[in-house]
Amino acid sequence: MSNLAPGLLRAIEREATSVPFRVLQTRVIEMMTAYRSGDPSAAPRLDETGAKAYAAYRMPATVAALVRVFSEISVTTGLEPTSLVDLGGGTGAGIWAAHTVWPSLAWATVVDRSPEAVDVGKRLTAELDIPVTWITEPASGDLPAADVAVAAYLMSELTAAEVDDVVDAMTATAETAVVVEPGTPVGYERILTVRDRMLDAGMALAAPCPHHRECPLAGRDWCHFAARFNRPPWLRRLKDAELGHEDEKYSYVVGTRLDVTATGDCVIRHPQKRDRMVTLELCRSDGAAETVTISRRHGDVYKQARDVRWGDRWLPHTRQDSADLGR
């Protein structure tokens, strides 16, 4: 469970409460409908009220997903960046997530074609002691060199040619490129396209893929993960939701020119934990997908399996040892 930074939640609440509740909720409902449709042309235009509604509706979930992704990069590469470029991140979600995970961050650049989103983002990130350059132009333009470039939930708004241009710009100027999309079959297909583009650019895959081979889920399933975060009361009211938490499902890929030091398989589904037994679905480092069942008779391996999370790396044993685990 991710507890979002109190300063972030206070800042979003200030923006949200500056708009009459019924007006804000109507805009949020429009955005929820467009987001779930998967049709980029259905997205409403971001005027000032729309930018505030977007920040209230989507920013907590986006930050939660990015915190999980950035944390995984730190595990696989040891990355401690000083610079970040966030493409399409006008409300500042990437900056807040990076600030949460990487105290080393010294400066950031945000590129977003919506002046209204940028205006909201400037206010939402004002309390962070990080110099930010804000650029209001399309994300496929020339980018400053940076340790990390991130594009979260951007590719669904672009044409195929624009996606190629954005990924090419990211891989040409950043040591590590991060792309996050909705955890849907359509979002996963976009991630596969980006993944291929990153490999063609000579990048290594830092996460979630533990190999560079063809995705073993392609054509039969989709790779996605989930980040759970606490919903503050104002967000529950805005979404007319009863639960005090939300699960943000996302697909992602990270390309890097750094050394990928982590090894092991990736847990690609929520572990099924039953009495004296844990079942894991894995994407293996040799490019295959498999399901393993671990029982109490496996001793320390079982103890480790009880603690593993969806999206974690799994290496409590050698490949030879895994032959002894039930499939």
Residue 292 lies in a domain: yes
Q: Do 50 and 41 touch, CB atoms closer than 8 A? A: no
Q: For residue 135, what is the enclosing H or E element?
A: strand 132-135
pLDDT at 32: 81
Neighbours of 30 (CB within 10 A): 16
- In terms of domains, do 272 and 136 share one? no
Alpha helices in the chain (DSSP H): 6-17, 21-37, 48-77, 93-101, 115-124, 160-173, 185-200, 233-239, 300-307, 319-322
Boundary-marking domain end, from 256, 287, 314: 256
Residue 71 lies in a domain: yes
Instruction: Look at the chain and report how many structural domains it folds into.
Output: 2
pLDDT at 318: 42
pLDDT at 39: 64
- In terms of domains, do 92 and 199 share one? yes
pLDDT tens over the chain, length 327 residues: 567 899 999 999 999 999 999 999 999 888 888 777 666 655 666 889 999 999 999 999 999 999 999 999 999 999 999 999 999 999 999 999 999 999 999 999 999 999 999 999 999 999 998 999 999 987 766 889 999 999 999 998 899 999 999 999 999 999 999 999 999 999 999 999 999 999 999 999 999 999 999 999 998 899 999 999 999 999 999 988 889 999 999 999 999 999 998 778 999 999 999 888 999 999 999 999 999 999 988 888 998 899 999 999 998 654 445 445 554
Question: Helices 185-200 and 160-173 sit at what angle, rounded to 10 degrees?
Answer: 50
Q: Do 145 and 175 touch, CB atoms closer than 8 A? A: no
**CA pair distance 90, 257, nearest whole angstrom:** 26
- In terms of domains, do 91 and 135 share one? yes
pLDDT at 315: 81
Residue 185 lies in a domain: yes
Residue 140: which CATH number?
Answer: 3.40.50.150
Boundary-marking domain end, from 235, 256, 277: 256
- In terms of domains, do 239 and 202 share one? yes
pLDDT at 87: 96
pLDDT at 325: 56
pLDDT at 104: 97
- In terms of domains, do 197 and 310 share one? no
Residue 327 lies in a domain: no
pTM for this predicted structure: 0.92
Which residue from 62, 110, 55 is spatially nearest to 84, judged by alpha carbons?
Answer: 110
- In terms of domains, do 75 and 167 share one? yes
Residue 167 lies in a domain: yes
**Which range of residues forms the domain containing residue 54?**
6-256
- In terms of domains, do 68 and 95 share one? yes
Residue 225 lies in a domain: yes
pLDDT at 234: 92
Residue 1 lies in a domain: no
**CA pair distance 71, 79, nearest whole angstrom:** 9
- In terms of domains, do 193 and 270 share one? no
Residue 14 lies in a domain: yes
- In terms of domains, do 246 and 272 share one? no
Boundary-marking domain end, from 231, 256, 281: 256
Which residue from 299, 220, 324, 305 is spatially nearest to 265, judged by alpha carbons?
Answer: 305
In DSSP notation, 28-79 reads HHHHHHHHHHT-GGGPPP--HHHHHHHHHHHHHHHHHHHHHHHHHHHHHH--
- In terms of domains, do 106 and 159 share one? yes
pLDDT at 283: 95
- In terms of domains, do 112 and 24 share one? yes
- In terms of domains, do 252 and 271 share one? no
pLDDT at 44: 62
What 31-35 contacts at long range (C-beta under 8 Å, 24+ apart), as own/partner pairs, is: 31/57, 31/58, 32/57, 32/239, 35/182
